[in-house]
Structure 1
Amino acid sequence: MAAAEQRTGDRARYAQLLEHAGRTTVALRAAPGAADARLWGSGVLIAPGWVLTCAHVLAASDGRRRETGPEGVFGVAFGGRVEPARLVYDLSRPAPEAGPGAARADLALVRLLDPEADHPCAWLSDQPATLLEDAYIFRGHDRSGGADGPDVPGGRDRPDGPERPAAGKRVLRESAVRGPAGAPGPSAAVDPFIAVRFGARDARGLQFGSDVRVSPGASGGPLIDCDRGEVVGIVKGRHQQDHVGLAVPVTALRGLGPEHLVAGAEGLGPEPYHALMGLHDRWHWTGQDLARAGGPTWFDAQHAVMAGRGRLWGVQERLQALDLLARLPAPRDPLLVEAAVDEALERGARPGAWSLRTWRDGHGALYQGSDPYTELRAFVHYLRIVAQRTADEVRDVPGEEAAAVREGTARLAEFVQAKAVVLQPQDRRRIGPVRRRPRSVLVEFEPLFYDENGHELYNWSVSEGYGRGQWLRVDVQESAGGVPFEEAREQVLRGLGGRLLRADGDAGPGARVRLEVAVPEGRWHTAAGRWEVAASTRRTARRRPVGPGRAVVLRDQGRREEVDPAWLRRWQGMTAAPALTALRIPPTGAGVRPGGSAETIWRLLETAEDGALPALCRTVADGFGRDAVGVALDTGFPAGLWPARGHGEDRECDAGCEEFHRGVRELLQGSGGLVRLPELVRQLRAKAAEAAEEGSHWARDLILLYDDPEDPLPPLFPDRPQVSPG
């Protein structure tokens, strides 16, 4: 009896949620005033002026685009009216220049043309869908009640005759739940269905039971998880072979990018997913404003569903947290979101383990089914990390935009402080400090002058890097006279192993910070990857090569805080290029005669495509190789590859050179772009260190120039006499 009463109570709580779901479900059809008012399919209002649907809903059964009005206008029916709208983003057809690996999903975003159109919005889940207990499908209604079930790639809305309740399904009538706004009358069926449980998720998307028949026109409508009170999927149809229902998970929206913008449409800027979800989250927070008159909101319905579950991080905490995160800029790298999640969950770094794009996505990854206290601690820790990381990015940046970001991080920090008061003292101590986490350790050799024997003398420094040109010097050699390069290097190596290990510990569990070595012209053959440093902090620790265990890159000391436009432009082009290709210098068969060859190399580099990466098999210590690297730097190249012991001008290229260039080509194939290159070179060095064959020496002393203009070197020591190497 108690169980039956509990189920009855659940249904009562769901009624308010289903009412909101019905009001946010829309019908897509021809433009207002068109003669053909048949239903194309459904959609769901998710942000002010924005409708989410399936891309195939906007195509007829033969795959062609629906007939629309001028400039692609069609109708969106809700609230007893039909609003004009236009397709803006199509995730099913990325632009060709986006490359073969671009995200694809049967999703589309439609914008209402009236910016003042008033409407409700559904709540999109910030976490992946799991096992469903009670889930409902909603279908939009047109004014005439007509339906036209479109074909679905791999599945179909099947008009199989009069709608009858199937096993495991209930049809709620107007007496139970009000229908979607725009329904033809009080006798119309609302047509939400209780779907069977599902745990299956494959390349086709979410699957629900074959006993739940998707009614015609339901494609594009929301799949509601009543247990969480959220939209977890967009209904796609029913698969023709095995007859399971299919839905696209709303987390597939994370693939939304500027490449999905339809030609001629006005989009959401360079980070459309971040912008869209920001509009969504801020709308829901504003809906709870005391000064805002209105009836119950989606949040109110969620709160009723979730009440009494003993959660310390409930829907109200989520609502405010996501609003605060929406006011921060998008993270500059999704890996930062993954790292923050791993740290909050006290896990080792696992690059690529999550599919996370924004701080909102990271929030959704923290629901781990743990006890309420552990879950609260994870959320507080994560938000504390986000607040400090974002504040660090703009700490010394001038301007109103940076000031607004600092204000946003301060508000987030205040919210975190308020939620942390119930944590145990040891947890508050651990979370409170949130140390700045280094991304790299920089060793820089500063040329001073030449002694009476013509030997160049150096000072050196070691800094920790936090990105965006933020550095902290942690070790300095400030001898007035300087020391020869070899001695300066040995002085650095005595303490470098411990410094790297301490930076690893500060960076987080399992982290290995990058070693960057900045050298002046004439030292570009410095094989820092083969340096041997202490393997532990023991006083008698053995030395091990640094290159196989962590990324090691070379930087040019001549480029620092003043960023050359050509350097920045080339960096942006290379990072955006879908693939990298080796650019052999000099080209096969080119001569190396003085004078003529330099002009040839200059033209070759200036006209190179964005994905071209210079590769030299000759020594860069002097002669042609040194000149070629200088030309590459002058033309803006931020990256290049060469062996530390390349051959000189006294001999032509041989079989060893061909092996080197072949290996570079294989390294770049499927590399995943420039940002992945330091780690790929590390992996190659590790394999070469384990190989016994002498022929792999080219990989053991491979040098990667990797000079990021968005993270320029720190200023040189003040009041130092500077000379150019002769």
Structure 2
Amino acid sequence: MRRPSPLALLQEHLGTCRVRVHGASQGAGFFVAPGYVVTCAHVAGAQTGKRVPVFWKGTEFEGSVMTASAPPRGRELWPYPDLAVIQLLDAPADHPCVWLDSVPPSHGADLTAFGFSDIYEPGEASERSAALRRGGTTDALGGRMLELVGGEVNKGLSGGPVLNHGSGGVCAIVKATRLKNTAMGGVGIPVNALRLLDAQVYRALIRAHDAFHGCNDQWTRLSDRVVDNGSGGFAEGLGPVLNLTEERRLLAIFSQLPAEPMGEGLLPASRAGDEGESGGKPSGTKGHHAAFFAAAVEGARVPEDYPLLDHRDVFTELAAQMPPAAGQLPYELAFAADLVRRAATAGPACQGAVQDLRDLVLLTAGRLGVGEKVQQRLAQVPAPEAQASIIARIRHSMRDRRLYHVRVWRYRSASDIEPAAPESDALPLNQAVEHLAALLPEQIEIMGGATSPGLIELILPREVLDEGFADLSLWPQMHWFRLGHKQRVVVRPLERHETPALHAAWAKRWQQLDGKAVSEMVVCVCGRGDQHQAALDASFESDPTLAALALAGSPQSQPVSDAYQVAVAAGVPMMVWRRGSPACERGDGGRCGVPGRRACPGNGFFTELCATLSDTRRDDLPETIRQLRVDAQKPPRREGHLGDDIVLLWDDPRRQIPRSRLAPAQEGRP
């Protein structure tokens, strides 16, 4: 007799996790944790506290809607995420639960959706499963959904689970069919969208889910036969990776740790409010988790599509990142080590879980050959608090690149970034600069005042870099005040911030500057002769220490402009030049190095800059440049003073603004 395949056994087990829900409509749901059912809001209804019948194995149970997304406003389909959580008031003690997989399936991946159907017996719902595949992605109804193709998705599947054969976990919830009674498929809601519901309910649900699977391996024994659990090890050409068993054990321990901030001073604390918390009260928990994410993987953007509400969310988002370089700690393990350090001062109630976490981190690190690195991480001293700043961005309009949008944020840490004003309409450049100048005084006052030197970071396209931002006079009653004399004004390249593929090299070169004197690192670049773009690109590619440049002319003058573009793409985070200056011309007929490391007879700016910077370190450079601007105004005035028209590009990859979607080309049109 032929035995069922591992996949068939897992599908059969998932079928036992399925329930029928009779709420605002009739559909499916599934057990995610003991007593908790997930379904669609259009099935359960949007009214919190509403009692709904839930049927499992022919028995009716009474459930209560704990949280649900908002109903539609005059539209047939419910808006994103269209999810609800039901808690059974008297749940059966022996019911199974699915394993949630937060990583979206790859295109073409085999899927199975589970629910009910009355196609063959109208009015009599019977269990149904549908063999499907992952199609594309649909942006509709306010969110991003997975296209389910290759089979019929009838209305009785709504709210049901979608099994990813490749991961052995439930990756989505069925939302809607594309066309009734056809094999045109439908759409599913990623399980990560549960993080858009009430934060307290989500935490209770996801922690109960992880705790359940930490002591009940019924699902994982089946899924591990479908998916090769592996022993972990090394991704091809990259660093070590955890295996599935280690990941599940870590998540089970995380569920026992407090979700709120633990201990003080080990990571930057968020000052921002925590929108989405129950009752709308700020708690800082989201900022707390975002700080953990930022600490684990330098230079990566904190995820924005779904908020980080629990330790699990940080872990799964880190696991979805490209693995680090060989010899480095896996990001998830670095995060777990940070949790151990942070929890060391927590109350005695969770110390057992903290010790279990420490032991598991050390065992996993030992297996992966990174034991020494994790020991260093566990013993790490607290990182210094991030420097607060005002970050302003000027970027092109998608409709007309001659027009620009302006937006400003207050930055206090990677987890505490507040928008200061909505993005402006599309404006000509002179009006965009005027709009920015009108916004800055109030923001400077909020961040400490005009006479308390703060950091002003301007993210700009190349053609805007030479605008006289440092010379702006923002205070009419004190017309002698200049922005660059009172504040540390730096520029940053817009092109790099909008191209994620450039971020890895950028973070590495920034690290090269850590603790070193800038004068020892800076080299001269003019773009002439042997410094053509291909030669410069080869130099940057072969030498990661090339991280600070003195440009022998403005990035708007040729051939310096060509050299600047290569440097931005290569991730060079620090450049200095004189605003509006033409490209240097060597008068001695000599040839420049690639790039020029020695004193350049044709570029006095480079020579004077190296002498002036002396022992200045990376993080002190914005203040040094501010002082140079002030010194240039002291009598007796010297023409050509180094501080005259000096521009500093200082681009810290850890200091990134929230990523916003570009407006479509038809923006503003009816």
TM-score by length of 1: 0.47
Aligned residue in 2 for 1:311: 232
Aligned residue in 2 for 1:17: 10
Q: Is the 8 A contact 2:38 2:159 kept in 1?
A: yes
- Where 1:76 maps in the other structure, the secondary structure is strand
Aligned residue in 2 for 1:194: 131
1:685–1:388: structure 2 CA closer, same or farther, 3 Å change rule?
same
Alignment of 1:253-264 (within 5 A): 253-257=194-198
- Where 1:200 maps in the other structure, the secondary structure is strand
- Where 2:146 maps in the other structure, the secondary structure is strand
Question: Which of 253, 257, 260 is the aligned partner of 1:328?
Answer: 257
Is 2:56 the partner of 1:44? no
Distance in 2 separating the partners of 1:340 and 1:16: 38
Q: Is the 8 A contact 2:338 2:377 kept in 1?
A: no
Aligned residue in 2 for 1:409: 354
Shift of 1:240: 5.1
Aligned residue in 2 for 1:84: 62
Q: Give the aligned residue type for 1:256.
A: L
Aligned residue in 2 for 1:361: 313
Q: Give the aligned residue type for 2:221.
A: D
Q: Is the 8 A contact 2:109 2:166 kept in 1?
A: yes
- Where 2:153 maps in the other structure, the secondary structure is coil
Q: Give the aligned residue type for 2:17.
A: T
Is 2:19 the partner of 1:26? yes
1:679–1:253: structure 2 CA closer, same or farther, 3 Å change rule?
farther
1:699–1:217: structure 2 CA closer, same or farther, 3 Å change rule?
farther
1:220–1:352: structure 2 CA closer, same or farther, 3 Å change rule?
closer
Aligned residue in 1 for 2:497: none
Aligned residue in 1 for 2:192: 251
Consecutive unaligned residues of structure 1, counting only runs of 5 or more, are 1-7, 32-38, 60-64, 96-102, 149-182, 185-189, 259-270, 289-296, 395-401, 441-512, 517-527, 530-547, 554-574, 582-658, 704-726
- Where 1:197 maps in the other structure, the secondary structure is strand
Distance in 1 separating the partners of 2:441 and 2:377: 47
Distance in 2 separating the partners of 1:343 and 1:49: 35
- 1:202-242 CA-to-partner distances (Å, cap 9, x unmatched) read 34533335432212311000111021111111000123599
Aligned residue in 1 for 2:563: none
Aligned residue in 2 for 1:231: 170
- Where 1:220 maps in the other structure, the secondary structure is coil
- Where 1:119 maps in the other structure, the secondary structure is coil
Alignment of 1:43-442 (within 5 A): 43-58=29-44, 72-92=50-70, 105-115=81-91, 117-140=93-116, 146-147=122-123, 190-203=127-140, 204-239=143-178, 244-257=185-198, 271-288=200-217, 297-307=218-228, 309-312=230-233, 313-332=242-261, 333-341=285-293, 343-345=295-297, 347-352=298-303, 355=306, 356-365=308-317, 366-368=319-321, 377-392=330-345, 394=346, 402-424=347-369, 428=373, 431-440=376-385
Distance in 2 separating the partners of 1:666 and 1:212: 57
Shift of 1:49: 1.2
Q: Is the 8 A contact 1:551 1:679 kept in 2?
A: no
- 1:136-185 CA-to-partner distances (Å, cap 9, x unmatched) read 0001479x96559xxxxxxxxxxxxxxxxxxxxxxxxxxxxxxxxxx86x
RMSD (CA atoms): 5.0
Shift of 1:360: 0.7
Q: Is the 8 A contact 2:18 2:115 kept in 1?
A: yes
- 1:43-68 CA-to-partner distances (Å, cap 9, x unmatched) read 11111111111111135xxxxx89x9
Distance in 2 separating the partners of 1:406 and 1:369: 32
Larger radius of gyration: 1
- Where 1:418 maps in the other structure, the secondary structure is helix
Q: Is the 8 A contact 1:384 1:434 kept in 2?
A: no
Distance in 2 separating the partners of 1:114 and 1:552: 47
Point out which structure has higher relative CO (alpha carbons under 8 A, 6+ apart).
Answer: 1
Distance in 2 separating the partners of 1:374 and 1:217: 50
- Where 1:192 maps in the other structure, the secondary structure is strand
Q: Give the aligned residue type for 1:43.
A: G
Shift of 1:341: 4.1
- 1:313-366 CA-to-partner distances (Å, cap 9, x unmatched) read 333222211110111112544455445445545x42534567433221122121
Aligned residue in 2 for 1:663: 439
Q: Is the 8 A contact 1:302 1:315 kept in 2?
A: no
Number of aligned residue pairs: give it: 401
Shift of 1:115: 4.8
- 1:600-623 CA-to-partner distances (Å, cap 9, x unmatched) read xxxxxxxxxxxxxxxxxxxxxxxx
1:212–1:116: structure 2 CA closer, same or farther, 3 Å change rule?
closer
Q: Give the aligned residue type for 2:31.
A: L
Distance in 2 separating the partners of 1:435 and 1:218: 50
Q: Is the 8 A contact 1:381 1:431 kept in 2?
A: no
1:684–1:200: structure 2 CA closer, same or farther, 3 Å change rule?
closer
Shift of 1:409: 1.8
Distance in 1 separating the partners of 2:198 and 2:371: 42
Shift of 1:128: 3.8
Distance in 2 separating the partners of 1:698 and 1:90: 52
- Where 1:234 maps in the other structure, the secondary structure is strand
1:30–1:360: structure 2 CA closer, same or farther, 3 Å change rule?
closer
Distance in 1 separating the partners of 2:83 and 2:52: 17
Aligned residue in 2 for 1:710: none
Question: Which of 473, 482, 504 is the aligned partner of 1:694?
Answer: 473
1:94–1:413: structure 2 CA closer, same or farther, 3 Å change rule?
farther
Q: Give the aligned residue type for 2:228.
A: A
Aligned residue in 2 for 1:624: none
Q: Give the aligned residue type for 1:131.
A: H
Identical aligned pairs, as a percentage? 24
Aligned residue in 1 for 2:636: none
Q: Is the 8 A contact 2:453 2:486 kept in 1?
A: no
1:244–1:683: structure 2 CA closer, same or farther, 3 Å change rule?
farther
Q: Is the 8 A contact 1:48 1:283 kept in 2?
A: yes
Shift of 1:311: 3.3
Q: Is the 8 A contact 1:104 1:255 kept in 2?
A: no
1:304–1:107: structure 2 CA closer, same or farther, 3 Å change rule?
same
Q: Give the aligned residue type for 1:83.
A: F
Q: Is the 8 A contact 1:105 1:252 kept in 2?
A: yes
Distance in 2 separating the partners of 1:56 and 1:702: 56
- 1:17-52 CA-to-partner distances (Å, cap 9, x unmatched) read 101110111111269xxxxxxx70111111111111
- Where 2:28 maps in the other structure, the secondary structure is strand
Shift of 1:428: 3.6
1:371–1:387: structure 2 CA closer, same or farther, 3 Å change rule?
closer
Aligned residue in 2 for 1:158: none
1:378–1:431: structure 2 CA closer, same or farther, 3 Å change rule?
farther
Aligned residue in 2 for 1:444: none
Q: Is the 8 A contact 2:256 2:353 kept in 1?
A: yes
1:432–1:207: structure 2 CA closer, same or farther, 3 Å change rule?
closer
Alignment of 1:475-494 (within 5 A): none
1:551–1:700: structure 2 CA closer, same or farther, 3 Å change rule?
farther
Alignment of 1:482-561 (within 5 A): 513-514=386-387
TM-score by length of 2: 0.50
Distance in 2 separating the partners of 1:42 and 1:226: 20
1:679–1:410: structure 2 CA closer, same or farther, 3 Å change rule?
farther
